[in-house]
């Protein structure tokens, strides 16, 4: 019996020693001094604690489920030559590092932190400076990217810089509370499904603040996309949910608060589109519910191309836009109802809070400008005012089913 | 200040139409700023005033004033004074009083409700437009002795700059829609003082609309310090050229 | 003092002045007479630089007046119908011209102001004045600055007899000072005692320019008006 008990105890000790992971401390005065050494020494589920310092060790490959923790922001520097951290195992955690100066070859897309075919990877509280790609996840599942700051100084040349948070062919990814600026696209999704992007701020990126394609069943909630080269572009996707985001100050020739291309069965609700060249630009998009949003101080509140159908634009506030809505054709297959338009001049005799006269949000001048953009030159001239007024009284050139039959008298409290 | 200008000024300050004009501007501007809840809308109302009312009143009042002063001018010409000085002094007097009327009527609420930079720009444009249309009035008044004809020419010129010119621009835009004509259009707008003032104010006011494809080109030109200076210079030319032509004509006119 | 050479002026189809040649010397009091529309006013306005001749020159003291203006400070001009800015008072008009002329206040000739009792009316607006009073203001302005040359276009038209008499007296006084006086008038009888020379114009041409004494001698008539009809008859025949 004793022998049995002893054996059991031994086995137990053996087990617990593996369960109780070892902590390897790296840094000046510790042993080892190089992260690479620690990575080689460590067993799966170990923790590597990196002390404050400057580490220039080329490419670090994490191929075991390890927890890497930076203490007082140690700097991992790629010397502008290497991918800095390559994650090639499941359940890796990377926390508290400053990752900077990755290489910038455009062939294999080196990143500050790149995840290869791995699940349950957690990347939190890191700061990434001047990397080609910031955080790159390919074939990842159930990964979490949280509270990281990614800063790069991208120039206008899109090829000189990669994306901030880049995900490709992944599933169930959580991107939360990150701050991305100066990259090509702030956050980039391609073939990423069932994922959530929440409370991120993406600003001052060269191309798009958020860019996704073929990424079905994702949700984008409470993010801020500000002052990006071309705003936000989302394409070829079904079941997108965009709630409570802010799209603002996306100025320029081809800049949009939100560009929707071939998006269907989606919800765009409670967002704020402020001071964009176009708040929403949509083409080839169907069955989208656009509800309870604020469109304020945009050049165009919404540009709805004639290729869109069955979209419902309900209960939004349109204020101080140069043009509330414009379209490029005469076919109207979308509906407007119960929106507030600050340009509405009707009255409400029966006091039901909706105007008694339908509102035609499409002005003649917006149709002219759509056909002939330089006509913008005549904006706010007496002649244009006269044209618009006469068109309002006697609609002849604008489609008459482009109409909100229940325009609100007062803005919605959004 | 020169004597003739002073006499013109004292004469105009007693003029009922001038007082009514100042009051009208004041009523419009104050109500624009106090009724609208944001100053942006007030500014847009003011912009319409600058683009329509100010040119109309400036050109009409000046034309009528010149015709009504024909005796005064005759009296002055028989005196030992250079003809050029007479014409220029009357022009200065009219310009100052119209500009003052604008500043008193519209400038005061503007100063209170808009930013100081906006005040500078809008007030400056209002003054420049007033002066330019005074010059245009001098131009149309000198070419015919018939008061009714002269007023007719003035109103036509106003109608042209306020409305017909833009129609013409729109027509050209559609005629040459297949060609890259943005740059040419920037040049063409310079041919109307009202359009110049409108675009200069809009670029500061309503940037969203002017951005985008076309806006970028305008911004590129009108938005820079150089483009702005050139535009202001062009507005000044709109004063200088009609006035110079009328001056030449006046110096060779029998009275 | 004023020499006019080959002066031509055309208004549209109307030839207002045809090759006018005249010499007007200081000390002369010259009547410019002729039927309506004969070019009297145009001639006067040409001398003042108000009408600009098509051809010919006008010399003032030997200097061409073209593009000149300073010489006008030596001319007192009284227009046929003086018209003044409606909103100004008499005082303002007079003050304005004084300022414009830069003429020392103490040397101005206030004779007519006193005689016409203008000071009593000084604060009346020009628009409220009668035609006669307006003419008085014109006369005051013409004589205010002691000019060397007077150009008076129908000076007595519209004036009451007393005012006209005062003006005539004033002209006499100025003539006595040796100034050149050019008067156009229809009322020739009024001018009998005044004038020393006579220019008769018709259809823009000067028919004759003679001393009144010579005229009287030639025609044997005492009255100027008679001498003219006589002269015209003579020329016709």
pLDDT tens for C127-180 read 899 989 999 999 999 999 999 999 999 888 888 999 999 999 999 999 889 899
Alpha-carbon distance of C230 to A23, in angstroms, equals 142
Tell me if residue A59 falls in helix, strand or coil: coil
pLDDT tens over chain A, length 414 residues: 566 666 666 655 555 555 567 899 998 888 888 999 999 999 999 999 999 999 999 999 999 999 999 999 999 999 999 999 999 999 999 999 999 999 887 678 889 999 999 999 999 999 999 999 999 999 999 999 999 999 998 766 666 789 999 999 999 999 999 999 999 999 999 999 999 999 999 999 999 999 999 999 999 999 999 999 888 999 999 999 999 999 999 887 778 999 999 999 999 999 999 989 899 999 999 999 999 999 998 889 999 999 999 999 999 999 988 889 998 887 788 999 999 998 888 899 989 999 998 998 888 888 888 888 888 888 888 888 888 888 877 777 788 788 999 999 999 998
CATH number, domain with residue A197: 2.160.20.10
Number of compact structural domains in chain A = 3
Q: Are A247 and A192 contained in the same domain?
A: no
Q: Residues 216 to 275 of A: which have CB under 8 A from any B CB?
A: 251-253, 275
Touching partners of A (3+ C-beta pairs < 8 Å):
B
Q: Are A175 and A263 contained in the same domain?
A: no
**Residue A265 counted as domain residue:** yes
Quote the tokens at residue A322.
């140069």
Q: Are A196 and A258 contained in the same domain?
A: no
Q: Are A391 and A406 contained in the same domain?
A: no
Q: Are A160 and A264 contained in the same domain?
A: no
- Do the two chains B and C touch, given a threshold of 8 Å on CB pairs and at least 3 pairs? yes
Please, which pLDDT band fits residue B114 given cuts at 50, 70 and 90? confident
**Inter-chain CB proximity B254 and C11 less than 8 Å:** yes
Residue A248: which of B213, B40, B208, B209 has the closest Cα?
A: B208
**Inter-chain CB proximity B75 and C82 less than 8 Å:** yes
Q: Are A318 and A302 contained in the same domain?
A: yes
Alpha-carbon distance of B220 to C182, in angstroms, equals 67
**In this complex, is the C-beta atom of B224 within 8 Å of any C-beta atom belonging to chain A?**
no
Contacts with A95 (C-beta within 8 Å, 6 or more apart), sequence order: A67, A68, A69, A70, A122, A123, A124, A125, A126
Taking the CA of residue A78 and the nearest CA in chain B, the distance in Å comes to 39
Comparing alpha-carbon positions, the chain B residue that sits nearest to C74 is: B80
Tell me if residue B105 falls in helix, strand or coil: helix
Number of compact structural domains in chain B = 1
Q: Which residues of A touch B194 (CB under 8 A)?
A: 381
pTM for the complete prediction?
0.79
Q: Which residues of B touch A322 (CB under 8 A)?
A: 206, 208-209
Beta bridge partners, A68, equal A48, A94
Domain residue limits at B15? 3-252
Q: Are A27 and A145 contained in the same domain?
A: yes
Quote ipTM for the complex.
0.83
Alpha-carbon distance of C68 to C75, in angstroms, equals 13
**In this complex, is the C-beta atom of B116 within 8 Å of any C-beta atom belonging to chain A?**
no
Comparing alpha-carbon positions, the chain A residue that sits nearest to B38 is: A320
**In this complex, is the C-beta atom of B41 within 8 Å of any C-beta atom belonging to chain C?**
no
Domain residue limits at A86? 20-209+221-227
Q: Are A191 and A45 contained in the same domain?
A: yes
Tell me if residue C6 falls in helix, strand or coil: strand
**Inter-chain CB proximity B173 and A385 less than 8 Å:** no
Q: Which residues of B touch C83 (CB under 8 A)?
A: 70-72, 74-75
Comparing alpha-carbon positions, the chain B residue that sits nearest to A252 is: B212
Kindly provide the b/e burial profile for residues A197-215, where b requires at least 16 CB atoms within 10 angstroms of the residue's own CB. Answer: bbbbbbbbbbbbbbbbbeb
**Inter-chain CB proximity C83 and B74 less than 8 Å:** yes
Q: What is the arithmetic mean of pLDDT over B47-54?
A: 87
Q: Are A253 and A120 contained in the same domain?
A: no
Q: Are A290 and A158 contained in the same domain?
A: no
**Inter-chain CB proximity B206 and A386 less than 8 Å:** no
Task: Give the pLDDT of residue A20.
Answer: 63
Q: Are A237 and A184 contained in the same domain?
A: no
Task: Give the pLDDT of residue C229.
Answer: 83
């Amino acid at each position: 019996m004793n022998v049995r008990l002893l054996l059991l105890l031994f086995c137990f000790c053996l087990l617990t020693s593996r369960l109780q992971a070892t902590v390897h401390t790296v840094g000046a005065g510790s042993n080892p001094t190089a992260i690479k050494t620690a990575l080689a020494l460590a067993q799966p589920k170990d923790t590597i604690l990196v002390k404050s310092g400057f580490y220039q060790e080329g490419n670090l490959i994490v191929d075991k489920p390890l927890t890497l923790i930076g203490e007082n922001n140690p700097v991992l520097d790629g010397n502008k030559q290497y991918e800095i951290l390559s994650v090639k195992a499941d359940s890796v955690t990377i926390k508290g590092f400053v990752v900077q100066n990755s290489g910038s070859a455009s062939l294999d897309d080196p990143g500050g932190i790149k995840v290869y075919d791995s699940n349950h990877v957690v990347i939190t509280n890191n700061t990434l400076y001047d990397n080609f790609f910031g955080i790159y996840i390919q074939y990842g599942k159930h990964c979490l990217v949280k509270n990281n700051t990614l800063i790069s100084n991208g120039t206008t040349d899109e090829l000189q810089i990669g994306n901030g948070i880049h995900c490709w062919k992944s599933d169930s990814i959580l991107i939360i509370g990150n701050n991305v600026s100066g990259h090509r696209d702030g956050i980039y999704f391609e073939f990423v499904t069932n994922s959530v992007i929440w409370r991120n701020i993406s600003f001052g990126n060269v191309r798009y603040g958020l860019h996704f394609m073929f990424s079905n069943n994702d949700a984008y909630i409470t993010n801020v996309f500000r002052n990006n080269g071309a705003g936000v572009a989302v394409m070829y996707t079904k079941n997108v949910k965009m709630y409570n985001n802010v799209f603002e100050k996306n100025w320029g020739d081809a800049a949009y608060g939100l560009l929707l291309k071939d998006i269907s069965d989606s919800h765009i609700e409670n967002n704020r589109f402020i001071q964009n060249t176009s708040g929403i630009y949509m083409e080839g998009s169907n069955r989208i519910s656009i509800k309870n949003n604020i469109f304020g101080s945009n050049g165009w509140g919404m540009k709805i191309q004639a290729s869109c159908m069955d979209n419902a634009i309900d209960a939004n506030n349109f204020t101080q836009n140069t043009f509330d809505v414009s379209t490029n054709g005469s076919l109207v297959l979308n509906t407007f109802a119960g929106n507030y338009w600050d340009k509405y001049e009707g009255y409400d005799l029966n006091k039901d809070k909706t105007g008694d006269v339908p509102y035609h949000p499409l002005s003649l001048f917006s149709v002219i400008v759509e056909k002939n953009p330089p006509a913008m030159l005549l904006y706010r001239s007496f002649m244009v005012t006269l044209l618009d007024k006469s068109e309002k009284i006697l609609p002849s050139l604008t489609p008459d089913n482009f109409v909100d039959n229940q325009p609100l008298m007062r803005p919605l409290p959004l | 200040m020169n004597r003739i200008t002073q006499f013109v000024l004292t004469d105009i300050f007693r003029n009922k139409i001038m007082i009514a004009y100042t009051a009208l501007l004041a009523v419009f501007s104050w109500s624009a700023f106090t009724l609208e809840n944001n100053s942006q809308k007030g500014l847009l109302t003011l912009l319409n005033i600058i683009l329509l009312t100010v040119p109309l009143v400036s050109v009409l009042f000046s034309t009528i004033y010149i015709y009504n002063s024909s005796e005064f001018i005759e009296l002055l010409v028989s005196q030992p004074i250079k003809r050029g000085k007479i014409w220029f002094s009357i022009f200065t007097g009219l310009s100052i009083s119209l500009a003052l009327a604008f500043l008193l009527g519209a400038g005061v609420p503007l100063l209170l409700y808009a930013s100081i930079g906006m005040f500078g720009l809008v007030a400056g444009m209002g003054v420049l437009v007033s002066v330019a249309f005074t010059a245009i009035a001098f131009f149309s008044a000198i070419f015919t002795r018939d008061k009714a004809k002269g007023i007719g020419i003035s109103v036509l010129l106003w109608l042209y700059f306020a409305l017909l010119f833009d129609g013409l621009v729109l027509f050209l835009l559609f005629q040459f829609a297949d060609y890259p004509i943005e740059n040419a259009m920037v040049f063409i707008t310079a041919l109307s003082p009202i359009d110049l003032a409108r675009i200069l104010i809009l670029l500061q006011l309503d940037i969203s609309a002017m951005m985008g494809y076309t806006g970028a080109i305008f911004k590129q030109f009108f938005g820079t310090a150089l483009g702005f200076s050139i535009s202001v210079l062009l507005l000044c030319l709109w004063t200088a050229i009609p006035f110079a032509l009328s001056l030449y004509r006046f110096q060779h006119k029998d009275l | 003092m004023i020499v006019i050479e080959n002066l031509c002026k055309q208004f549209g189809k109307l030839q207002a002045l045809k090759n006018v040649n005249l010499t007007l010397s200081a000390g002369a009091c010259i009547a410019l007479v002729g039927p309506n529309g004969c070019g009297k006013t145009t001639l006067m306005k040409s001398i003042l630089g108000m009408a600009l001749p098509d051809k010919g020159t006008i010399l003032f003291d030997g200097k061409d007046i073209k593009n000149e203006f300073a010489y006008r400070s030596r001319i007192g001009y009284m227009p046929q119908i003086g018209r003044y800015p409606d909103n100004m008072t008499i005082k303002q008009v007079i003050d304005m011209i004084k300022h414009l002329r830069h003429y020392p206040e103490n040397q101005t000739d206030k004779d007519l102001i006193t005689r016409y009792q203008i000071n009593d009316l000084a604060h009346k607006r020009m628009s409220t004045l009668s035609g006669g009073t307006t003419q008085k203001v014109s006369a005051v302005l013409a004589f205010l600055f002691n000019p060397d040359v007077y150009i008076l276009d129908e000076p007595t038209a519209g004036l009451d007899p007393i005012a006209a008499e005062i003006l005539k007296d004033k002209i006499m006084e100025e003539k006595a000072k040796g100034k050149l006086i050019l008067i156009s008038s229809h009322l020739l009888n009024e001018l009998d005692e005044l004038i020393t020379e006579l220019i008769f114009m018709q259809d823009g041409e000067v028919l004759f320019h003679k001393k009144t004494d010579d005229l009287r001698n030639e025609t044997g008539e005492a009255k100027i008006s008679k001498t003219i009809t006589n002269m015209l008859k003579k020329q016709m025949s």
